[in-house]
Every structure is written in structure tokens, then in C-alpha cells.
Chains A and B, each alone.
Chain A
Amino acid sequence: MTSAAEHLDPALRVEALASLLAERGLIDEATVETFIKTYEQSVGPMNGAKVVAKAWTDHDYRARLLAEGTAAIAELGFKGPQGEHIVVLENTPTVHHVVVCTLCSCYPWPVLGLPPSWYKDPAYRSRVVREPRQVLREFGLELGDHVEVRVRDSSSEVRYMVLPERPAGTEGLSEDELAALVTRDAMVGVAKVAAP
């Protein structure tokens, strides 16, 4: 692959590579299907939402989660690739964390699954380390001047997940009902969890 090479349609390139690798016994249809199904169905933001809901309802769990994220997340059975060391950042009325990977697309797979398109896009990666308040505004989140903004660039093997604020008016909800409110965007720090 050189810079002068003609652009090949990516879907066609994938098909060509897959067929060459299959011929050489290096990849097989069943493995491909298993991987896709895993990240389409089992590993995604619904895992992180369970972690958040538990932290909102169980004071001791919340303390463990903020102190030793990886271990507390593993208590709920979530671990695996891109989750070797997960740090949980707590958003409050006065401190707002937002996570990015400027160099590639590092993201805490066991709790959030694969990153969404906007997270991997050059606009987000280039701008959120330079003008995070403006970027959050474009996403629809306006933060007052009294809120301290803290941006985390994921440049090592540490992965970050945001523990968003529990919205008002959710006192009577069960853990499952709370988990249903938690969004991927809130766990990256580009949105808040809305009240039901």
C-alpha cells in the first residue's frame, strides 16, 4: 500500500482480504460471525449502564468503582479486550469529565462496546482537547462557567468511563429502570443523563 495507489472501495478490499485469508486458513466464517455477534449483541453500553445504575443505588459499590474501577466492573462480569485497567471518572454539578482518544480510537470495550462514529471522527478528536465547551455545546450540552471541565486523552492502556450524575426525580426507580436511562454519550461525557 503506497500513497500513490489507487483508492479501492473499502467493502471490496475487505472481501478480497477475507477471501485470501480464508484460503490460507487464517480466518474462518464462524469466527467472523462470533466476533460480530459479540459486539453487536453482548458487549455494549448496556453493560456500562448496569455499572452506573449499581453505583447510583449502592454506596459501597460506588466507592469501590471510583477507587478500583477494573475490579468493581469485573464484579458484574464485565472484562476483556480494551479493559485491562479501567478508571471511572465521577461527574458532579461542578466537575464535568469528557473522554477522547486523539491518536486513535481507544475506548473501554467491556463497558461501552465499540466506539460510535462521532468518537472516531477527526472533528471530535481534534477539537475536544482544544475547545471542549464549544464541542459539548454542539452536542447540545451547555455547561456554565462554574463547572470545571476536565478532558481525558486516552493515550496509554488505561481506559476511561464517566460515572454521570443521577438525574433528579429518580428516587423511586429500581436499578433496572435506572440502567435504562443511562446512555453511551453520558458515559463518555458528551451528555448528561436525562430525567425520565
Chain B
Amino acid sequence: MDGIHDLGGMQGFGRVQQLTDAPPFAQPWEGKAFVIGALAARIAGTNLHAFRHAIERVPPAEYLVGYWNRWTIGAQIMMEDSGIVTDEEVRARAARLRGQDVPEPAPPAPHKPQMPSGGAGNLRSVETPPAFAAGDRVRVADLHPTGHTRLPRYVRGRTGTVTARQPGGVFPDTAAHFVGENPQHCYAVEFDSRELWGADAESFHLSIDLFEPYLERLT
């Protein structure tokens, strides 16, 4: 989906934050948020791709509040989808924790998705031979799926060069929606900065890993 999460190349966010040696959790609730998100896929009977897609569906204003906020809301959305909790329950419980005497709604009936898994992790062997090899020139497909994808906007329609074949893996675009692992070949594709950002761009190369369905052979 063309959401707020797809940040590559957007302007207006100002200077980068200072580098610090800060520990992972600035406050205790952040550590607890991390664990809820880390366990959410297991609790909801889903997978990593579904969790990423849930975070993508966090409303944009909430997404920009901060990392652990969007992480927690993403975990909640995924658990709502599987009937583990409802937003009404969470809000009622929050109100009670604040000392308000509000009634709590009944919990939902769980309905976890069913999708056969080819095993642990996300790397998979792919039956079909790879369509591309290092050195091939490719154009990135101009796809705009409404669901999950790992194809960011800023490379769509651009021309690059395959520099390496990466391990094949579960295809996020289908796995996130529980319609199959659909393993795909994956390639490191390199772009010249001017192909992405025009003639006045800084001089650099950008490399990104793209699954085979995102690529078209340049003829």
C-alpha cells in the first residue's frame, strides 16, 4: 500500500537526530511494547509480514507520533484482525487503569488465519530457475498494490542493474495476507542516484533487494 511507512525520498522531516549511545528502551513501557510486538504474530497466529503490514495500516498521524507507539498500535491491529482483542476493550481497560469506572466489553471470539508454512524463518528454495542474473539491466515494475509490498515507491519504474542474487524467500506480498508463502527469487538491484533523483542528485549508488515479481527485463 502507498502508505506513510514508505518514506524513502520524502521531504520535510528536517534534520536527522543526533547519534547517541542510548539503550534500546528509554522508558520501561517501551520495553514492554517491544515484547508485545515481538510476540504479537505468535499470539495472533500470523507472521512477520502481517505484522509489518499492520504497522503500515497505523493511521498516518499515529504513525508519526513515534516508533513504539506505531509498533504497539500495529500489534493491536493484528490482534484485532485475529479476534484476540478489540479496540473498545483496550480503551475501556485504559480508562479503568486511569481510575474511571467504565464497563468492559466482552472479549471477541478468536479467528486466527490459516496458512500452511514451509517451515521456520523466511528463506526458501524456489522451484523455478531465476529469471535474472548479475549484470542484467532491469526495470522495476510500476506496481501500486493496495496490500503489503516490499517495493517502495521511489524505485518503481526506474532502471537498474542486478548485482547479485539474494537468497530466495517467502513472498511478503502474499504471506502478509495469508494466501501462501509463494517463494520467490530475490535480487540486489543497484541504481545510479541520478536515475532516482534527477540530474542534480548527489553522486552515489543505491542498492535494494527486490523480489522477482517486482522486476521486468529491459529489452
Contacts and interface: CB of A to CB of B under 8 A. Distances in A.
B16 A135 contact: yes
A136 to B, nearest CB: 9
A36 B67 contact: no
B17 A121 contact: yes
By size class, the interface of chain A is 35 or more
B16 A151 contact: no
Given A31-B39, A121-B16, A157-B122, A1 B154 contact: no
A118 to B, nearest CB: 4
Contacts of A8: 90-91, 94
B76 A13 contact: yes
Contacts of B61: 3, 7
Contact of A150 (B8, B11, B204): B204
B81 to A, nearest CB: 10
Contacts of B84: 21, 24, 26
Contact of B14 (A11, A118, A123): A123
A139 B24 CA distance: 20
B123 A85 contact: yes
Given A1-B87, A7-B62, A84 B14 contact: no
Contacts of A114: 24, 34
Interface string B116-154: 000001110000000000000000000000000011101
Contacts of A125: 7-8
Interface string A16-39: 111111001011000110011001
Contact of B19 (A35, A132, A185): A185
Contacts of B43: 21, 26-27
Interface in B1-30: 5-11, 13-27, 29
A31 B80 CA distance: 22
A39 B186 CA distance: 30
Interface string A117-131: 110111111111111
Interface size class of chain B, counting residues whose CB lies under 8 Å from the partner chain: 35 or more
A14 interface: yes
Contact of B17 (A2, A9, A117): A117
B107 A24 contact: yes
Contacts of B79: 17
A1 B76 CA distance: 8
B85 interface: yes
A149 interface: yes
A138 B68 CA distance: 25
B218 interface: no
Interface in B84-124: 84-85, 87, 89-91, 93-94, 97-98, 107, 121-123
A180 B107 CA distance: 51
Interface of B: 5-11, 13-27, 29, 31-36, 38-39, 43, 52, 55, 58-62, 64-69, 72-73, 75-77, 79-80, 84-85, 87, 89-91, 93-94, 97-98, 107, 121-123, 150-152, 154, 166-167, 169-170, 186, 196-197, 201-211
Interface of A: 1-3, 5, 7-21, 24, 26-27, 31-32, 35-36, 39-40, 44, 81, 84-85, 102-105, 113-114, 116-118, 120-135, 138-140, 145, 148-158, 183-185, 190-191
Closest 6 CB pairs of A and B: A102-B8, A156-B209, A118-B17, A149-B204, A11-B29, A3-B59
28 contacts: A1-B73, A1-B76, A3-B61, A9-B94, A13-B76, A16-B90, A16-B97, A17-B85, A20-B90, A26-B43, A26-B84, A27-B43, A40-B25, A84-B122, A85-B167, A102-B8, A105-B67, A116-B19, A117-B26, A118-B19, A122-B10, A123-B14, A153-B152, A153-B206, A156-B150, A157-B167, A158-B167, A190-B19
